[in-house]
Structure 1
């Protein structure tokens, strides 16, 4: 198949492109800078500089590639694009990413329609943002929590909009858990080692994780099988912060995280951090495993954190 990966030089794109190439697909992958063209060509793909916020740039790149499927992985969360992580103000930190998930999505969908691309796969999110009622682990049938009225709303609403648009054209949305793997959590590990990543309250909020290589392999299956619908791409082990954060610290060779009360965390880190740490709902991967035949290299972050940090 001819696969067009928008955002091929990002943390997931760098794992996804080689997997697609290894399975015999003809891949065109985009980056926003000439400096990363060699990174893509070294993985065996055709590299293209594209501005995801410029409709003409997107249209030209897609038209030249003539793909059978577009995979939307455009974000701007890296330090280069977004600066230092700011969990208290995700509306600011994710400002460009939110544009790529709204305007950028619109440009890709318009280009897909113009060229007649038959399949579209987009990036979603499923880590701690399940609806805060009922059980601690949610399926694709459960609503997402958009945190209306908080600084996180704009970003979560942009993701919800992607789902509506992509499902409307018969595409697939991969709701990835929190990424870890090469380059994905370096900033978090640094904070953990400095004891600047505390537990909030009792740390009862659940999160779901996924290694970049597992996220990429699930995406390859969605491309090859031309699936439709939403899939939670998370590992087998949703867990509360009181479990995963101390274990991450242990694997990083750091002291146990400090604990701060909810009122102080809300003042220092904002609503999103408090919800994630105290009320977050994780996700089930049963649908992805059953319908895609997905097998995980790292079925639990407990294995993955240890393996990843042992190599760093």
Structure 2
């Protein structure tokens, strides 16, 4: 049964992705009926979010209570700024098209996957950011503005959509089943050189915890609100990868200076950033707390089911 006793019919854009598969499972276990939307054969409704007319044709005749936008164009961790461009477009044009599709199906609620870097890349100091802090500040370079504009626009379209109750989840960096495994071959072959963290930390969230937050937003999120979603232990990028290596008995990544990553522009930006988030609002309003309070706990739970 669902937490609030009401089963919903949910259209999930991005259902076949890594996060989407966890969301599908979590929503189904909570008693909801999930229909996937995307380009792959795994989806109940096959359509490309970037093709407005085809999308509206595909959803014609369907009815849903809630639409969840978790679509991404990423198939591996982004290294260069250009690796993010297709996902940037999904956050702008794709979201606008999905809002139209949601209204066409009679949906009343629209939940979007947002992310921590919508607060801006760079050094935010040691104070945990809350949902009251500015979101979507102008990017320091044209490429960063393109990324941040995507996150800013995605939330704005959700909150301002006529006849839809928009909710945004500002998620930390993902790890966990279906995500962490991609690092293992690189660590085994020592093909993942990383700089030291030098006090820089980032928010992390285990994938099944992120999926549980989506269920909470579907059932209990307040319209027009954003919620930070991360575990209680911010950690530097290198520290997280070293924890992966220890958990799976693999070599630590080679150490390189930060400037070495400049050709990999997006990775350099991420690893140059320092960002903490408070998730008190999600705990208070959604009743969500992470099952795994740190990457160490989440990785320990992952190891027995992984194939090395």
From the superposition, tell whether residues 204 and 52 of structure 1 become closer, same or farther in structure 2 (CA, over 3 Å).
same
Please state if 1:97 is matched with 2:101. Answer: no
* Among candidates 145, 157, 162, match of residue 149 of structure 2: 157
* Among candidates 14, 27, 39, match of residue 20 of structure 1: 27
Please state if 1:120 is matched with 2:110. Answer: yes
Distance 1:20 1:90 in 2: 33
Q: RMSD of aligned C-alpha atoms?
A: 2.3
Count of aligned positions = 293
State the partner residue of 1:293.
Answer: 287
Q: CA deviation at 1:109?
A: 1.0
Q: CA deviation at 1:242?
A: 4.9
Q: Structure 1 unaligned runs (5+)?
A: 38-46, 80-84
Q: CA deviation at 1:153?
A: 3.4
Distance 1:232 1:20 in 2: 20
Report if the CA contact (8 A) 2:69-2:113 is conserved. Answer: yes
State the partner residue of 1:140.
Answer: 131
CA deviation string 1:145-168 (max 9, x = no partner): 664316343223201111122122
Please report the TM-score for the alignment, with normalisation by the length of structure 2. Answer: 0.86
State the partner residue of 1:82.
Answer: none
SS of the equivalent of 1:221 reads: helix
Please report the TM-score for the alignment, with normalisation by the length of structure 1. Answer: 0.85
Alignment of 1:187-206 (within 5 A): 187-206=182-201
Distance 1:208 1:250 in 2: 20
SS of the equivalent of 1:279 reads: coil
State the partner residue of 1:284.
Answer: 278
From the superposition, tell whether residues 311 and 173 of structure 1 become closer, same or farther in structure 2 (CA, over 3 Å).
same
Report if the CA contact (8 A) 2:258-2:268 is conserved. Answer: yes
Distance 1:131 1:172 in 2: 26
Q: CA deviation at 1:4?
A: 1.0
Q: Structure 2 unaligned runs (5+)?
A: 1-7
Distance 1:9 1:114 in 2: 23
Distance 2:121 2:159 in 1: 19
Please state if 1:255 is matched with 2:247. Answer: no
From the superposition, tell whether residues 189 and 151 of structure 1 become closer, same or farther in structure 2 (CA, over 3 Å).
farther
Please state if 1:55 is matched with 2:52. Answer: yes
Please state if 1:30 is matched with 2:25. Answer: no
CA deviation string 1:183-233 (max 9, x = no partner): 213333332333232332444321111111111111011111242211111
Please state if 1:171 is matched with 2:166. Answer: yes
Q: CA deviation at 1:10?
A: 0.9
